[in-house]
Amino acid sequence: MSIACIACVDTGEVGLLQMCGKYSGTAAPGINCIMWPFQTVAKVPTKVRTARCSAEWQHISVFQIEVRTDTKTKDNVTLTVTSVIQCCVDAERAHDYYYKLSNPHQQVSSYVHDCIRSLLPNHELDKAFESKDEMASTIKEAVALAMQPYGLNIVTALVTDMAVDPTVLKAMNEINAARRHRVAAVERAEAEKILAVKAAEAEAEAKELSGKGTARMRQAITEGFKGSIESMQHS
């Protein structure tokens, strides 16, 4: 014996109709008539919420997953990459999400790990930092393609942090410091060279002017002697 019952679906939810445990369709927000106990309604929220623990992943539609992946670069540097994946449930495929996914957090994380660990080993450390946007785009495409059959859409993917081992970071800082010291030494030498050249030019110019002054003085003395001799001859 079945009884006609009313099931209410709130705005921001999708109702999944089940006939004797088998999916039979969806129920829109509002009042829906069902034949209880043979027919039941499972509700899947489609409004934005934030999950507080992994047990809530299967009960929400829009959520953010933070994934930390340990990997190595081409030059054998260990990195911890932190990425953020924002997902939402496709309302038209809510039944796939509800029935096919048991742990969206774990499954999305697995695809992110696989994608990052296939990308970074092809780049050296400097190139890895430069290609964060490219990496995020590749992660989004790969995860979106993998999760599409499960009714889960990927809104965006971000690479928020790339943490290097502290010893490697210290070595990188020392290398950068040494490079800056070399540049500073070159600039200092160039400045000293310019000062030396300018000083030599100034000294040469001073000697030239001094020589010209001495020559004019001697010419004046000579002309004075010559004038005196001519005056003596005329007298």
pLDDT tens readout for residues 207-233: 777 777 777 777 777 776 666 676 666
Residue 114: phi, psi to the nearest 5? Answer: -65, -40
pLDDT at 30 over 60: yes
Q: Which of 49-53, 165-169, 201-205 is the most confident on average?
A: 201-205
Lowest mean pLDDT among 1-10, 15-24, 77-86, 199-208: 1-10
pLDDT in tens, 133-144: 888 999 999 999
Any idea what the Cα angle at residue 186 is, between residues 182 and 189, rounded to 5°? 135
Burial call 151-183: b when 16+ CB within 10 Å, e when fewer: bbbbeebbbeebebeeeeeeeeeeeeeeeeeee
Name the residue with higher pLDDT: 161 or 41. 161
Task: Quote the tokens at residue 33.
Answer: 């008539």
89 vs 158 pLDDT, higher one: 158
Global confidence as pTM: 0.54
User: pLDDT of 95-113, one tens digit each?
Assistant: 777 777 778 888 888 999 9
